A and B are shown apart, each in its own frame.
Chain A
Amino acid sequence: MPQRHSILAKLAGSTGRRLVVLGPLLWLAVFFMLPLLETLQVSFSVAQRSIPPYAPLWGFDEGGFFTNFTLDNYGLLARYWQDYIGPAFNSIRLAFFSTLVCLLFAYPMAWWIARSTPKWRVFLLVMVMLPFWTSSLLRIYALIGLLNPNGFINGMLMWLGVIEAPIRMMQTDFSIYMGMVLTYLPLMILPLYAVMVRLDDDLIEAATDLGASGVQIFWTVIFPLTLPGVIAGCLLVFIPAVGEFVIPALLGGPDQLMMGKVLWTEFFRNRDWPVAAAIAMLLLAILTVPIIYARYQDGRVDDKHEKETGAR
């Protein structure tokens, strides 16, 4: 990817530039890497009644060096995997379909914004981002107000005489997906917009000129060239969606346990930080492997598409 090269080039560039990059890097190291390492360390430790509620992983006392290193937490997860596989599956399924719905909504929207006149583009982008500037919690409560049995939509439909009894919309898959899509849609639209606005109109005209139909232009030119945006948008939506805790808790029913809820329970209810940390690390590993694979594929995506178009 050209961006990656340019970032590397800048890193390797003049000292001044290196200093500019150093700030954010330090920030990331302190507030991102250190907590992650802390979590990793806790996941190998033992729970105990203290503050913090786990034994130090290693240290020195009268007997010299000691360690509380244990794989028991992971062992526990392995032993009772049936208790965790369900929530994990629920979370991944929710994240997957949320991402898919977001993509299906965002792709035409982003295309429309990118093809608008520059003046309209700014307005439409602001409209996309506007909800981001309010609290997500407020937005979800607003959604509850809309979807409740005695909420706005049911009230309206009953007043119009379309329905006689309220439709159950809250605490269903519908309400969860509504909440997920409303929350995450901008994260999908923005990277798609970014690649689409750079797409050269001449390429589409060239394909038209060479006899391609609208569908053929989409699959042979537009889609392959917007794929980096699709991948970026899917990652941006999928990753936080897997760990989403608030939306299923507020909008979903009690029957579907999500990974976020399990983590919360282990952490706050059971005060078993090491097991909670182990779950978090495992989830991270499960998510990271496909993402690294996707990034790796991203660099070779062009070759792949050529073969596909070649076969077509």
Chain B
Amino acid sequence: MAPFIRLNALTKRFGDVLAVDDLTLDIEKGELFCLLGASGCGKSTLLRMLAGFEQPSAGRIEIDGQNMAGVAPADRPVNIMFQNYALFPHMNVAGNIGYGLRRAGMRGQSLNGRIEALLKLVRLQGYEDRKPNQLSGGQRQRVALARALARQPKLLLLDEPLAALDKKLREDTQFELVDIQETLGTTFMVVTHDQEEAMTLAGRIGIMDKGRLVQVASPRHLYERPANIFVADFLGMISFVEGLITKAGKGSIEIDSVPPITAAIDTQNRKQSKLAVGDKVTLAIRPEKISLSATATGKINEIPVVVEDLAYLGVASNYRVKAANGQMFKLQQQQSRRTTQPLTWEEAGFIQFDPSDVIILEG
């Protein structure tokens, strides 16, 4: 069976600029997909092409088996929740939510019933007579969601859905969004530059850079098995060590840094299995996988370091430490795991990490 939404070799050119470059992507029905990328990576252009506001320069968009070429925005089974919500300021909540329904010819009792049901879905009953400027940011966001869902789109596009909310509200709202998505089973496509937003919302994330999809995978997979340096660096903190392979085989490699670092090979990964002595690789280690202690333990991958920088976060502390050869490592220490007095600025110690926690990336 063909996937529900299929983007095939989609390209958009603005003059000489390639905003979206030969992008191919399948999205399943009922999926909460997230397109993640820095501003200017082409994700907004992609969103506008899906909504019908921009025409692709090449390639095609299919939704539920229907080719979208030449279909006007109003006739697409797609609705957008705009980044700033774009609520009509001169209409009340009911007027906003019912706008699309009225355009579809719905009137009277059935219209009111539908608006009532949508208000219930986003938990805004009793607010139908309020104007957008009489609502809080979170309430406006929910009105925008209800309005976009009113016409029962096959695909709902959400442009930075949480960006306008303050941090506390975002946490509640993101779970609520996921709840609503699961209740309705509508396919959601979230576009965002905020990795935290993407990680918490999405079942699958596509990372975009310069108009291309760099990697499409689940949040966990992206974080723990990034496909390349861009993805590894884009999602969360990470430390990179470059080097040439000095030993290879038996499920692990060793590189020529000082002291040498051993990394376990993912035997499922064909590329990694083929790595040989002399190949250039970049190793990456997540900060929470590195432990820091004042005394040596004699374990594998233990490196003497000096604390360069330290940030106290409450639950944890972020460290930046420097090895003898000038190599920097970022690491995070949970407060509860520390038994002795924690190291502070300029103090010497040892970091250690497990070979299986080292991510091997291409040269």
Chain A contact residues, CB within 8 Å of chain B = 200, 202-203, 205-213, 216, 220-221, 224-225, 301-302, 305-306, 309-310, 312
Contacts and interface: CB of A to CB of B under 8 A. Distances in A.
Given A205-B53, A209-B51, A209-B73, A225 B90 contact: yes
B134 to A, nearest CB: 11
A216 B147 CA distance: 17
Contacts of B99: 207, 210, 212, 220
A206 B80 contact: yes
A135 to B, nearest CB: 41
Contacts of A216: 103
B133 to A, nearest CB: 9
Nearest to A310: B95
Given A200-B86, A202-B84, A210 B95 contact: no
B221 interface: no
B82 A208 contact: no
B247 to A, nearest CB: 58
Contact of A210 (B89, B92, B103, B131): B103
Interface of B: 51, 53, 73-75, 78-80, 82, 84, 86, 88-92, 95, 99-100, 102-104, 131, 147-148, 150-151
Nearest to A205: B53
Contacts of A206: 80, 82, 86, 88
Nearest to B84: A202
5 contacts: A210-B74, A220-B88, A221-B88, A225-B89, A305-B90
Contact of B79 (A200, A210, A221, A225): A210
A117 to B, nearest CB: 15
B48 to A, nearest CB: 9
A309 B74 contact: no
Contacts of A203: 86, 88
A309 B95 contact: yes
Contacts of B82: 202, 205-206
B79 A202 contact: no
Contacts of A224: 90
Contacts of A210: 74, 79, 99-100, 103, 147, 150-151
A170 to B, nearest CB: 45
